[in-house]
Amino acid sequence: MRQYPHLYIDGRWTAPTEPREIELIDPTREEVFARVALGSAADVDRAVAAAQRAFESFSTTSAADRIALIDRIIDVYESHIDEFSELIAREVGIPVSNCAQVTGPAEHMRVARDLLREYRFEARVGGAIVRREPVGVCALISPWNWPIQTGVIKLIYALAAGCTIVAKPSLNSAASGVLLAQVLHEAGVPPGVFNLVSGTGREVGDALSHHPGVDMISFTGSTGAGKVVGAAAAGTVKRVCLELGGKSANIVLPDADLEKAARWNIQRCFFNAGQSCHAPSRMLVHESQVEQVASFLVDEAQRFRLGDPLESSTTMGPVVSAAQFKSIRDHIQSGLDEGARLVTGGLERPDGLDQGYFVQPTVFTGVTPDMTIAREEVFGPVLAVLTYHDEDDALRIANDSPFGLGGYVFGGQRENARRVVNGLRAGRISFNGAATDSYTPMGGYKQSGIGRSMGRLGLEEYLEVKSVYGFEDEAQALPTLFG
């Protein structure tokens, strides 16, 4: 049994104000494997006070000092990669073969560092100086599906900006949050600059959202929870950055490489057992091509190897929890009840896996836009295939959603595909499976969120803007803001 009995506040490991713990369940074995300290509103008060004190000095550090700090964090993080990989396999069922979950965070740290090297915090508009300054104390609330990477993206850009932090990891991935705090401690992050308070959303998350000492809150999670965070933060007019749910559509145009589009859709949708907010969980296919596409979808879905995430041959582990397992199965049942055609997968557990929260890779065709599996975020390995009459119909169906996080288009004729890409109302669109870029912003339209993370715009989420007048001579030496 692993024990994580401490919070991390003001540079020290400390017991919660009220000694409490929560048990973490291994989703593969359905048994307790760790206990983690459970913080409270009183612990949030301690952490925020520490972050406020630290902000006075850390906000005035030079970019060079923060670059050196990030370099130290990268070095220490990379020395713990194997430990992170094993821990998230036990904690949330992510296979050790999914190396992007543990190598990606270091890449995001390097991107933030390199941007900081060239970023200008002062610019000129006419004879005025426009300064960008750190926003203050930032509450960072991270999810369990990308337990390290999402937390790292938030904290590394906050540190690059000169902000101080109170972080709350998801309770499902609280142990990896503790390990990340250990990395920052070993790297020599100054006391109070980074603080970790694990706990429930109702208690710790709510306390952070309402706290008058928190200047900004960055939250990644469901749209429902994001609405609660945003409403709470409004009481003190905090800056809010929200990355929320998605129901991303992949429009496969008639002139696309159908096999490539189908196989890519399965791999991207079912990556991480479908527990990804950007998953292309709606695939839109021309009505004359659906049977051809379905054969490729079934073949690719059946190539996943489900099993113990600690084994290198496993390509899909269990979903995170009993609650998630039930939610996904309820969505599969809704597809059956509402008349969709099940072409692979289903409600039964995978062969030979009678223990653990394992869900078969599942594909439905004959899905209509009004069905539950076409409208709600399943957050599991379930793909809904819909048909369209023409491209305008495809765009109408794709955009008929409260979400707008990601989108995908496959096609042959680039000019026509670009028109479809531009018509999708979502924050990130990929054509023919093109890889994303860590220098570019990530975020959503509509109920998929507010603000952006990553890249230059992600850094500027953590910066306030100040206009300064009366220093015309000094302003002339600066680059123009809108040059």
HEC readout, 134-174: ECCEEEEECCCCCCCHHHHHHHHHHHHHCCEEEEECCHHHH
Structure tokens at 116: 């900081």
CB neighbours of residue 352 within 10 Å: 8
pLDDT at 379: 98
Using CA atoms, how far apart are residues 304 and 461, in angstroms rounded to an integer?
A: 38
Residue of 71, 102, 358 whose CA lies nearest to 187: 71
* Active site (catalytic) residues: 243
CB neighbours of residue 328 within 10 Å: 23
Report whether 177 contacts 147 (CB < 8 A).
yes
pLDDT at 51: 99
pLDDT at 483: 59
Q: What is the domain partition of the chain in residue ranges? A: 2-244+448-468, 249-431
Structure tokens at 204: 């710790």
Containing 363, the helix (H) or strand (E) segment is strand 362-365
Sign of CA dihedral 76, 79, 85, 88: negative
Q: Please report, in tens digits, the pLDDT of each residue of the chain (483 residues total).
A: 899 999 999 999 999 999 999 999 999 999 999 999 999 999 999 999 999 999 999 999 999 999 999 999 999 999 999 999 999 999 999 999 999 999 999 999 999 999 999 999 999 999 999 999 999 999 999 999 999 999 999 999 999 999 999 999 999 999 999 999 999 999 999 999 999 999 999 999 999 999 999 999 999 999 999 999 999 999 999 999 999 999 999 999 999 999 999 999 999 999 999 999 999 999 999 999 999 999 999 999 999 999 999 999 999 999 999 999 999 999 999 999 999 999 999 999 999 999 999 999 999 999 999 999 999 999 999 999 999 999 999 999 999 999 999 999 999 999 999 999 999 999 999 999 999 999 999 999 999 999 999 999 999 999 999 999 999 999 999 999 875
Using CA atoms, how far apart are residues 461 and 81, in angstroms rounded to an integer?
A: 28
Using CA atoms, how far apart are residues 428 and 55, in angstroms rounded to an integer?
A: 33
Residue of 220, 171, 230, 137 whose CA lies nearest to 39: 171
Q: What is the DSSP string of 102-113?
A: HHHHHHHHHHHH
Superfamily of 249-431 according to CATH: Aldehyde Dehydrogenase; Chain A, domain 2 (3.40.309.10)
Phi-psi region of 351 (alpha: psi -120 to 50; beta: other; left: phi over 0): beta
Report whether 16 contacts 43 (CB < 8 A).
yes
Return the amino acid letter for 257: D
Superfamily of 2-244+448-468 according to CATH: Aldehyde Dehydrogenase; Chain A, domain 1 (3.40.605.10)
For 198-247, the pLDDT digits (tens) are 999 999 999 999 999 999 999 999 999 999 999 999 999 999 999 999 99
Using CA atoms, how far apart are residues 136 and 108, in angstroms rounded to an integer?
A: 22
Report whether 294 contacts 385 (CB < 8 A).
yes
pLDDT at 1: 86
Containing 473, the helix (H) or strand (E) segment is helix 472-476
Q: At what angle do helices 149-161 and 63-79 cross, to 10 degrees?
A: 160
